[in-house]
Amino acid sequence: MEDIKRKIAKGELKSVNNTKGKAPFWVKFDIITNLQNEPTGFVQCALCKAVLSYDSKKTGSSHLRRHLQRSCGGCGSGTGGGDRQQSVSDFLSFAKPPPERMKSEVANKCVNFCCVDIRPFETVAGAGFRELAQELINVGATHGRISANEVLPNPTTISRRCKMMASEMRGGTVEEIKQVMSLINIGMTTDMWTDDFRKMSYMAITCHYVTPTFKLKRKLLTTTCFPNHARTGDHIRKALQQQLVTVLGFDASIMNNVVWVSDQDASVLAALRPYRHLACQVHLYNTVLRHALNTDELAEAVPEVAETLLAVKALVRYLKQSGLASQLPTTVKQMAETRYNTVFLTLELIQSVHAELQELLQSRDESARLRNVSPDVLAFLVEFLRPFNDAQKELEGDKHPTLHLAVLWANKLKSHCQPDVADTPSQAVIRQRHLDWLTKTIEIQPLHKIAIFLWPKFNQLRMFTPAERTDIQQHVRILINRFRVGEVAAARWQEHTGQSDVSSAAAAGPAPKRRALEEVEKAWENVREESEDADEVQFYLSLNPTMEADGRDLLSWWKQHETTFPLLARLARMVFSVPASRSSSERAFSAAGRAIGERRTGLAPETVDAILFLHDAK
């Protein structure tokens, strides 16, 4: 074997990767060949450089496995690897499945864990718990049998580490966002929430942006405690500025470089009035449903509809209080006062289990509870409200762009609410009420229109009038021209100073003094008209773009066409950074409700902030 090593050292033989070996252990062995790449009957361990004989037809490969498990693993059998400790990945790659007895004992310990600490059984299925369990197994594999008390930290250490980890990760997130904002504006959402135990108010700020590689990202930046007495427009605006500028370190101009999305809370609207703001589409549709399905008004106009809605609500309450809900095949949900898409979900559920409900209530002599639930009204409401539920589900997404969907859903729902000759009088009233509230509430802003224009298969804007199309195209030209002007200014600065970026320009000293007539000159100097070939908007309109699948992977399309439409692609990154709803910030408080429980009311606000940030980051 030593002779083989010497020949390898002299270059008479060589070791090459075994690309034909399919077993996992072959990644740790090289085949020794002569200079003509012919096998010599030997292999070399890539970990300890030991040479072993190998012939696929004579020796087999079991001794190679044993080498990795024993000799190279640190047991020391004189192969040159005895002083090397086996890595956890090496150990696990050859570990045998645990016996049933061991798995049964682990299951018993899981039961003890859940019962002693009063934890939900689902805890052991959580990604965080499994990551911890795997790390403890790795520690045991590396260091042997040791006490858990020597490894597990105390709660105070975990609390401190939680805030430290959040601070470090948040710093990296802020730097990434700053880099993105050097070229484009971005979107931010905000929402407020009050915990049920200490009645403390929290404000969440979530950032939405598209990276230079056209990946949409959503990051919860902060969840800050907010005094209840200070929920005024001025206080909220100052709190936003303090968090973004003072705490997170953004430039003081950030509020002007963000498109904010929020609900219609009067204080929040007052706070964001000086800045660019879009109303949350999901909240607007919730407002439409809340007014259109107002049971007090329906009782006068269409009493049979009001009776059905009230009867369903009372029925669900009875099912939950009596325990009968557990006997149904589907989980029963009550209509929430704040989220009116739950009206559809509750009605759909009652319709789907109507037969089972009849049988169940008859067995308890409670059939009267279904008497005011009209099957015809129930069926109509379910089908009528389904598109509203679909709209809210699509518009509250944050893994893909959603702003461009606002135009289509507004048009679809208004069309859906138009009179139908097949409607009964009560159905016609329901349609008209929803149409009236859609007309009053839903307003399509210029940014929504630009977003639909940047959806390639809708760039002809056929849902708008010719005058509206011209306005949208002109607005797009103005926006991309600002990019062009900025690039020209940067190029002139670089040519004048020899500096390539803002930081190096600052290091070079103050900017050259501006001429007194510079602004007037720029306003009146000759302008070279761009040819149609140089007009990205015109070229974009002349295309007949095709998109894969359902045509909704917008960012991939713009990434593929960035070289063809550099300015429009940059505009697409900016526009699609803005979400259609503020649901991301709202979801942060769903996690907050789980973090601040009856047994965890003592959490400091900064700890809550750290927990929610790390939860969102995972």
185-196 confidence digits (pLDDT tens): 999 999 888 877
In a domain, 504, yes or no: no
CB atoms within 10 A of CB 241: 15
State the DSSP code for 597: -
What is the chain's mean pLDDT, rounded? Answer: 83
Q: Structural domain tally of the chain?
A: 5
Q: Are residues 336 and 436 in the same domain?
A: yes
Kindly tell me if the per-residue pLDDT of 467 is higher than 90.
yes
Q: Is residue 388 within 8 Å of residue 413, measured between CB atoms?
A: yes
Q: Are residues 298 and 368 in the same domain?
A: yes
As a whole number of angstroms, the distance between CA 574 and CA 510 comes to 31
Q: Are residues 125 and 187 in the same domain?
A: no
Q: Are residues 219 and 320 in the same domain?
A: no
Q: Are residues 311 and 432 in the same domain?
A: yes
User: What local confidence, expressed as pLDDT, does residue 548 receive?
Assistant: 64
Q: Are residues 35 and 105 in the same domain?
A: no
Task: Report the Cα 386 to chain-centroid distance in Å.
Answer: 25
User: What local confidence, expressed as pLDDT, does residue 77 receive?
Assistant: 38
Host domain of residue 418: 285-445
In a domain, 118, yes or no: yes
What whole-number percentage of the chain has pLDDT above 90? 48
The enclosing domain of 137 has a CATH number of: 1.10.10.1070
Q: Is residue 382 within 8 Å of residue 320, measured between CB atoms?
A: no
In a domain, 357, yes or no: yes
Q: Which two tokens stand for residue 242?
A: 């303090």
User: What local confidence, expressed as pLDDT, does residue 532 receive?
Assistant: 41
In a domain, 154, yes or no: no
Q: Is residue 345 within 8 Å of residue 389, measured between CB atoms?
A: yes
As a whole number of angstroms, the distance between CA 235 and CA 447 comes to 28
User: What local confidence, expressed as pLDDT, does residue 508 receive?
Assistant: 33
User: pTM for this structure?
Assistant: 0.75
Q: Are residues 168 and 259 in the same domain?
A: yes
Q: Are residues 55 and 128 in the same domain?
A: no
Q: Are residues 344 and 401 in the same domain?
A: yes
- Of the CA atoms within 13 Å of residue 528, those in its CB half-sphere come to 4
User: What local confidence, expressed as pLDDT, does residue 338 receive?
Assistant: 66
Q: Are residues 185 and 252 in the same domain?
A: yes
As a whole number of angstroms, the distance between CA 577 and CA 400 comes to 10
Tell me the helix, strand and coil percentages in the chain, rounded to 5: 60, 10, 35
* Dihedral Cα 289, 290, 294, 297, nearest 10 deg: -80
User: What local confidence, expressed as pLDDT, does residue 291 receive?
Assistant: 94
As a whole number of angstroms, the distance between CA 478 and CA 475 comes to 5
Q: Is residue 241 within 8 Å of residue 224, measured between CB atoms?
A: no
In a domain, 526, yes or no: no
- Work out the average pLDDT over 217-223: 93
Last residue of a domain, one of 93, 119, 135: 93
Q: Are residues 289 and 275 in the same domain?
A: no
User: What local confidence, expressed as pLDDT, does residue 140 receive?
Assistant: 87
Kindly tell me if the per-residue pLDDT of 511 is higher than 80.
no
As a whole number of angstroms, the distance between CA 389 and CA 395 comes to 10
Residues making up the chain, counted from first to last: 618
Q: Are residues 12 and 105 in the same domain?
A: no
Q: Is residue 312 within 8 Å of residue 343, measured between CB atoms?
A: no
In a domain, 57, yes or no: yes
In a domain, 431, yes or no: yes
User: What local confidence, expressed as pLDDT, does residue 488 receive?
Assistant: 53
- Work out the average pLDDT over 316-324: 87
Report phi then psi at 65, rounded to 5. Answer: -60, -45
